[in-house]
Amino acid sequence: MQQTLVLVKPDGVKKNLIGEIIARFERRGLKVSALKLVKITEEQAKYHYAEHEGKPFFGELVEFITSGPVAAMVISGENAIKAVRGQMGATNPLDSVPGSIRGDYALTIGENIVHGSDSEESAAREIKNFFKAEEIY
């Protein structure tokens, strides 16, 4: 059983896509193990995007992810990271296939609806940024 962090970003929340995104993961056979609507602090955002610190777009990432509420969730299942990332589609929505979340609902890389951890190490770090162990079922 593998866990990954998924964030429905402010643009996805604004477009009322939380339920649709959860339903896609659940239909795939994945489980929502934790879920909450949060306003990410600047400190959380900087920690979340730490690998991009120093890059020209770092400030924009932090500004966008803190601009509105985010649906944070832990998704669990066999090969959850790969399954979630496949369903999300390419980071650039214009490279995403129809049927993927980004392929269906996003047009720009800056507002691409959803985030998912890219490795087990990232998932562990990112989950701890948003959830206490006792909040995960």
Look-up of token digits 């996805």: 12
Look-up of token digits 């059983």: 1
Q: How far is CA 136 from CA 63, 64, 100, 127, in A?
A: 28, 26, 26, 10
Q: What is the reported pLDDT for 96?
A: 96
Q: What is the reported pLDDT for 114?
A: 98
Walk along the chain (137 residues) in steps of 10 and give the mean pLDDT of each run. 97 98 98 98 96 94 97 98 98 96 96 97 97 96
Look-up of token digits 């890219």: 118
Q: What is the reported pLDDT for 63?
A: 97
Which residue in 24, 46, 48, 115 is the catalytic one? 115
Sketch the domain layout of the chain as residue ranges: 2-135
2-135 CATH: 3.30.70.141
- Residues in binding site for ATP: 9, 57, 85, 91, 102, 112
Q: What is the reported pLDDT for 120?
A: 97
pLDDT in tens, 64-95: 999 999 999 999 999 999 999 999 999 999 99
User: Within a 10 A sphere around the Cβ of 57, how many other Cβ atoms?
Assistant: 12
Question: Is 48 one of the catalytic residues?
Answer: no
